[in-house]
A = this chain, B = another copy of it.
Amino acid sequence: MTEQHQLDKLDRQILNILQDDATTPLAEIAERVHSSPATCQRRIRQMQNDGVILKQVALVNPTAVGRSLSVFVAVEVESQNPMLLDKFVRSLDKENDVVSCYEISGEHDYLLLVHAENMTSYHQLTRRIFTSDNNVRAFKSQFIMDFNKVETKITL
């Protein structure tokens, strides 16, 4: 998480590969970027230390694990008081179905991504966290009907 030197072409090529498949062996990476395994290894470690690579994770199919209802929820808060905003955000940590929370500009304040088991459990979730007690004035559910493109990759 130290200060980062500018990424060069080699770094970017390695990142493109690892963002597609983090299990790619160093020997294959080296071949594809025309370098050596040792050099690739050093670059990767450097980028991990610099916080360029945040972590390596397994991506799971929500439907296959019983979360077949996915929703973007646009939330409008009652008060912009920092303590109340913080309280709202922290209340999401306990909620397994809330995968992400972004603070956004515009008419809404937050955009959440939720993976729920079904409509009943989603409804219960909304009753639990989108309350005026929790500093929420209003919320709008945008149900995801199709995942046309869901990448985590930032192509460089």
A residues 84-113 in Cβ contact with B at 8 Å: 89, 92-93, 96, 98-106, 108, 110-111
**Is A65 on the interface with B (CB-CB < 8 A)?**
yes
A150/B102 in contact, CB under 8 A: yes
A153 contacts B by Cβ under 8 Å: yes
A149-B60 contact in complex given A106-B140, A140-B106, A142-B106, C-beta closer than 8 Å: no
Residue with the highest number of chain B CB atoms closer than 10 Å, among A7, A141, A146: A146
Band of interface residues on A:
35 or more
A77 CB to nearest B CB, Å: 12
Name the B residues within 8 Å of A61 (CB-CB).
51-54
- Asked if residues A18 and B101 are in contact (CB atoms below 8 Å), the reply is no
Could you tell me if B64 and A59 are in contact, using CB atoms closer than 8 angstroms? no
Chain B residues, Cβ within 8 Å of A57: 18-22, 56-57, 59, 152-153
Copies per complex of this chain: 2
A17's nearest neighbour on chain B, judged by CB, is: B58
Known: A56-B58, A64-B51, A65-B52. A72 touches B153 (CB 8 A): no
Whether A35 is near chain B, meaning CB under 8 Å from some CB there, is no
> Whose C-beta in chain B lies nearest to the C-beta of A99?
B151
7 new A-B pairs (CB below 8 Å) besides A103-B147, A104-B144?
A21-B56, A57-B153, A70-B102, A72-B104, A101-B148, A102-B146, A102-B150
